[in-house]
Amino acid sequence: MMPAAVDIIFDLDGTLVDSATHIAAILSDVAGREIKASDARQYLTLGGEQLVSALLGDANLDQNLARFREIYVAAPTPDCLYPGVREGLDRLRDAGRTMALCSNKPQILCEKTVADLGLDQFAVVLGSAGKPCVIPLTAALYVGDSKVDQHTAALSGIPFVFVTYGYAEPGFTTDVISFDNFPEIVDHILQ
């Protein structure tokens, strides 16, 4: 059963984990050629279908997407947490904050990433969210790294905090509160 309310909702890729290198390696395997992490970064917030389409083309999209996800499920998740994330999530949990994760990544891949990285701090893991979307939770805060995350927070009526170190679209700016590292976000929340 999913709680109706949490204190904080976090995006995954670009907010908690820097998965660009791992995802680029999987895409390279599917494509049979090198895909650079720098090329993958700008599409990571859009979801798998748009990512694969942008980097591998629309020919054989369904087959390439299925192969990408098959390899992703089988590959161990590297330790790609941004600095201070594990400690920060522990601090928030120890302070009694209830947290959720919301991602466009399929549910199975969200659960795998959370399990592989030992992130047991989340009361709810929402994969396959289809962001931007209305999140089926109420929360005091949504933390993310992109225009898609900000739009999701707005649609859900949740205040948004922007992390500048993530996968935001080139040139994206926002007038909401922003942080350059995860420990600053945690300090702000716990004040």
- The catalytic site residues sit at 11
SS in 3 state form for 12-49? CECCCECCHHHHHHHHHHHHCCCCCHHHHHCCHHHCHH
State both tokens at 36: 């650079």
N-to-C CA span, the chain: 30
Q: Are 101 and 110 spatial neighbours (Cβ–Cβ below 8 Å)?
A: yes
CA 53, 57, 60 angle in degrees (round to 5)? 90
Among 156, 191, 163, 158, residue whose Cα is nearest residue 177: 163
